[in-house]
A and B are shown apart, each in its own frame.
Chain A
Amino acid sequence: MKVMRAVNTKQCVPIIYALLQLIIFYGGRNVVTGVWPLPHALTVFPERYPLNPRTFYFDYGRHSATQQGCSVLDAAFRRYLWIIFPDYTAENGQFAANNSFNLHISTDHNDCENYPNEDSSERYNLSVSAGQASLNAATVWGILRGLETFSQLVYQDEHGSYFVNKTYIEDFPRFQFRGVLLDTSRHYLPVYAILKTLDAMSYSKFNVLHWHIVDDPSFPYQSRSFPNLSNKGAFHPETHIYTQSDARRVISYARMRGIRVLPEFDSPGHTRSWGKGQSDLLTPCYKGGAPSGAFGPVNPALQSTYRFMTALFKEVSSVFPDSYIHLGGDEVDFSCWRSNPHVRVFMQKMGFGGDFPKLEAFYVENLVNITSALNKTSIVWQDVFDYHERRSALSVVEVWKHGCYLCKVRQVTKAGLRVILASPWYLDLPGPTHNWARYYTVWPLAFPGSEKQKKLVIGGEVCMWGEYVDATNLFPKLWPRASAAAERLWSDEKQTSSVERASPRLEDFRCKLLRRGIQAGPLYVGHCKHEYQGV
């Protein structure tokens, strides 16, 4: 799923002009510009209430299962106070209104100290009225989504005073899995860039960071059990690695924003950097009758390989709390295996004949067993599904290849497996920012199939591969284009099928991202009230 060559997808989906239920009032000068991604049920009234940062309070409802001291929410209140009132400093107090405003929070469960997971409810209800708003949700994760929505409802008039309109919202995600893939192997991304991406993800209600942490070019993950992997395999053994505490920091920062961290340790291909610090892991390639000195994929014919993988994944599953682990399994080149006499002998012994996909399936199944023993659900790229005969051994398949990707989604769900769709959202491929429409006009469920099949599509993912991406251009490449995918994955499809209607909302949302310090690229000609001031 790395660099995809240009493919001509005949994917002309007619735009369905559905009426937006969003009600926008242009009453006088106050314009409610809306929320991104669009909530499922949103009613905004012309009546508006002033807000004053000095007399704005978050509080927990009397019957709320969570109360003060809830780490996730207490931190979120602090964060959102600054997001809601970007001009606010202790000194400037010339905000006109003196009326106090209370945002009452109430949850059904106390999951403050948990991690979000694949079953977490993110549903919330928000109602804004005079002097107060109430935000109710089953979980703290729902509250986080509701706070984000509330922050987008607040606006400033031309004198800088803050307002929010009377509003009712009922909202929940359309898909459970809404991910962004970051690739930290082709270029090292400093931890701050990952954290900032998590911030930006939470503004678009993404909930999974798929951390493609290692690959051929480098192995920046510092393993407790196998420190040589990054000592030898990282671009630099001290400056270009993720230490255990870095990983913990990313995971905890993500948790505070209701985001899961899904690590990917891709094998048996895409592992060149592993070989530097772990001898006998990769297959020696042969030329004529002798080793050529080059190495291929992980060597599936050795017992030591599986011992190593067991130890590595045991560590990984203890470091990363999420119940999913991504095992990769894509783009395996068989030529090196084919050249190696020991591998060929092993194939004979196993009765695979000359069928190398069988060898790969054997390898991946071993890894799936290793991770199941660790109580983890494994995700694989679609390649594994394509060559696997015993598909029942698999659980989640990520569809990434272009062409008729919905055909593949149909096929995988027919086999009863869960699907994550990535094909239409390869944001590293060239495309001007204003061409975001192609990421918006994606219809993940537009394939013939049963309701049960549709339910197996658990979500989608934006992929930002790192060949030509590092911290210098990550943000303008990701944002706001990823936000287009975010709306597809969160909102109701009928309400959000028109690019024309989405366009002014996305432009406005992009300006909000700039205001929050995210270097989001421009969609087209125009301006934001507060331009990006970094250099």
Chain B
Amino acid sequence: MRALSVSALLLLALGCCWGTQDNFLDEDVVEPVIQASKYGSLWPLPQKVQISDVPLKLSGTTFEFTDAKGSTAGASCSVLQNAYRRYFDYIFGGPKKQKMSRNRRSGPTEVTELQVSITSPDSQCDGYPGVTSDESYELSVDAPVAVLKAPTVWGALHGLETFSQLVYEDKYGAKTINSTKVSDFPRFAHRGILLDSSRHFLPIKVLLANLETMAMNKFNVFHWHIVDDQSFPYLSRTFPQLSQKGAYHPYTHVYTPADVKMVIEFARLRGIRVIPEFDTPGHTQSWGKGQMDLLTPCFSGAAPSGTFGPVNPILNTTYDFMSRFFKEVSSVFPDGYVHLGGDEVDFSCWKSNPDIKKFMDEQGFGQDYSKLESFYIQKLLDIVTTTKKGYIIWQEVFDNGVKLKPDTVVHVWMGSGSDAEMNKVTTAGYTTILSAPWYLDYISYAQDWQKYYKVEPLNFNAETRHTYPRLEGQPGTIPERDGKNYLGRVPDPAVLSLVPEPYLLRPGLAEPLQGRPAGF
């Protein structure tokens, strides 16, 4: 997924002939008509929302969040209690003042309470969000009591976010909310953001602030591309020399076990999964600094050149190392998935190495180095399987024909032909995550959000429509398998194909999704 590095180098090379690569400007950008929306600024737009014209008041002195009677989550549910405090802050701009005129008479049009009710027997208060988590919620705002119902705390978190977005100030500055009904659930189960902490180190503070913002946008996966060629900031308990030697700085530019724990818990409290990526066999230059014999020595003629290539796939020690390393990773990161990378493997170093040539002959791989790559990935997948984790891999691994478990998630990133790739991957029956249109690190200009907005993930020419509900990393749903739809919300595929955006209203903005030509 590194096309940028290549283009960046290209740009550097062209640096002296400036002006010639200036054509970043997108001429097609539409200047949107900005008009007030009667839906406030709910973002992302809920599946169903009805906002009445009836304004109700809220006051920081009387308003409170409460656990509804019969809710399966109570005062001991830290996810909810933390969220109450957070959202009180967002709405009223400060912490709740205790015991302030609780007796004050509230008017008939005042909302004094948001009752939160978790309805399923397992509220998941003490658990982690996962790919099968039910994130749905129903919100009804009325005076004096507003009600938020959700099967799990994860849905309730989204409901609290929506509630906070409904509150606005009237012209006198009084907190106001209109009587409203919302029924909401996510279209896709995996809604992620990738951050790269290897090319530049990102301070913990920045990671946390980003999680906060993700929650406001109802994102639910932090894909932590934690290490890469440039640096290895993950402090491993089992192999501390990896960051000791491979980080930009062994103390100031590392993520300690306590840091990682903090990120995971901060994310959990916001309903966000943390999926770590430890990309191999390529993108591993920084691993080699702290772990001898892990990388392949490259040869120049008959002698080692002193440089190193991808992970050495022909040594048993490599697999011993990976077993111990991923055992640690699987215990540190609670999520059910780990991202194994597998992208952009450069074969030239393997080709230069006589031991690898010999191994290729023994294995009968001939000159086909993608077979060697598959050999490595296969062994790696077996290792990770023993840790009871599911895995995500970049699309090349699938393209190279590595044998994958049926619940493998294939991550589509290559910019060109991503529609065809989505088609191929889903036809083969794999779940998939789409990133190709959302490489935000690319240089763009002006109202570039419009092009990220106009993306329609299901717009590829699927041969088999029944694969639709399995998109975007919903392996756990697998409604076809046992006939039961866990989410209970993915519309019948046939309907989906007729109505691409069920219930989806887009007030306010020009309606970019309607009448859009296919294959944007």
Q: Which residues of chain A have a CB within 8 Å of any CB of chain B?
A: 5-15, 402, 424, 429-432, 434-435, 437-438, 441, 467-468, 499, 522, 524-527, 529, 531-533, 535
Contact = CB atoms under 8 A, between A and B. Distances in A.
Contacts of A11: 17-19
Contacts of A6: 22-25
B199 interface: yes
Instruction: Classify chain B's interface size.
Output: 20 to 34
Interface in B1-45: 8, 11-12, 15-20, 22-25
A529 B445 contact: no
B205 interface: yes
B167 to A, nearest CB: 21
B252 interface: yes
B11 A434 contact: yes
Contact of A430 (B8, B200, B252, B443): B443
A6 B15 CA distance: 16
A522 B200 contact: yes
B426 interface: no
A275 to B, nearest CB: 21
Interface string B231-266: 100000000000000001100110000000000000
Given A437-B15, A527-B200, A535-B206, 5 more contacts: A5-B25, A6-B22, A430-B445, A438-B19, A468-B446
Given A9-B18, A11-B17, A522-B200, A529 B249 contact: yes
Contacts of B443: 430-432
A434 B17 CA distance: 14
Contact of A8 (B12, B20, B248): B20
B230 interface: yes
B497 interface: no
A402 B446 contact: no
Nearest to B447: A468
Of residues B18, B20, B23, B249, which shows the largest number of chain A Cβ atoms within 10 Å of its Cβ?
B18
Which 6 A-B residue pairings sit nearest by Cβ, starting from the closest? A438-B18, A9-B19, A437-B15, A430-B445, A527-B248, A535-B209
A437 B8 CA distance: 13
Contacts of A5: 25
B444 interface: yes
For A434, A435, A532, which residue has the most chain B Cβ atoms within 10 angstroms? A435
B11 A435 contact: yes
A378 to B, nearest CB: 30
A10 to B, nearest CB: 7
A499 B18 CA distance: 13
A308 to B, nearest CB: 32
Contacts of A402: 19
B203 interface: yes
Contact of A434 (B12, B203, B249): B12
Contacts of B200: 522, 525-527
11 contacts: A6-B22, A7-B22, A9-B19, A432-B11, A434-B8, A441-B15, A467-B446, A468-B445, A525-B200, A526-B200, A527-B249
Contacts of A535: 205-206, 209
B201 interface: yes
A527 B253 contact: yes
Contacts of B231: 527
Contacts of B8: 432, 434, 524
Contact of B24 (A430, A467, A533): A430
A10 B8 CA distance: 21
A533 B205 contact: yes
A9 B23 CA distance: 11
A8 B19 contact: yes
A529 B205 CA distance: 17
A533 B18 CA distance: 33
Nearest to A436: B15
B19 A429 contact: no
Contacts of A532: 203
B15 A499 contact: yes
Contacts of A525: 199-200, 230
B16 A499 contact: yes
B205 A12 contact: no
Given A435-B11, A524-B8, A430 B25 contact: yes
Interface string B169-207: 000000000000000000000000000000111010110
Contacts of A13: 16
A533 B203 contact: yes
A7 B444 CA distance: 16
Contact of B16 (A10, A424, A432, A441): A441
B203 A531 contact: yes
B416 to A, nearest CB: 21
Nearest to B23: A6
A441 B201 contact: no
A435 B21 CA distance: 11
A332 B11 CA distance: 35
Interface string B213-238: 00000000000000000110000000
A65 to B, nearest CB: 45
Nearest to B7: A432
A137 to B, nearest CB: 36
A13 B24 CA distance: 22
Nearest to A14: B16
A196 to B, nearest CB: 20
B12 A437 contact: yes
Nearest to A524: B8
Contacts of A432: 8, 11, 443
A432 B231 CA distance: 22
A437 B19 contact: no
Contacts of B444: 430
A176 to B, nearest CB: 26
Interface string B437-471: 00000011110000000000000000000000000
A291 B230 CA distance: 64
B205 to A, nearest CB: 6
Nearest to B202: A531
A431 B23 CA distance: 10
A467 B206 CA distance: 27
Nearest to B199: A525
Given A527-B249, A529-B252, A8 B199 contact: no
B443 to A, nearest CB: 5
A437 B16 contact: yes
Contact of A10 (B19, B23, B445): B19
A363 to B, nearest CB: 30
A527 B446 contact: no
Contacts of B201: 527, 531
Contacts of B253: 527, 531
A531 B249 CA distance: 11
A15 B16 contact: yes
Contacts of A12: 16-17
Contact of B445 (A7, A424, A429): A429
Contact of B18 (A14, A441, A527): A441
A9 B14 CA distance: 13
A435 B230 CA distance: 20
A532 B201 CA distance: 10
Nearest to A533: B203
A430 B22 CA distance: 8
A10 B19 CA distance: 7
Contacts of A429: 22, 445
A7 B15 contact: no
A264 B209 CA distance: 38
Contacts of A529: 249, 252
B207 to A, nearest CB: 10
Interface in B454-498: none
Nearest to B5: A525
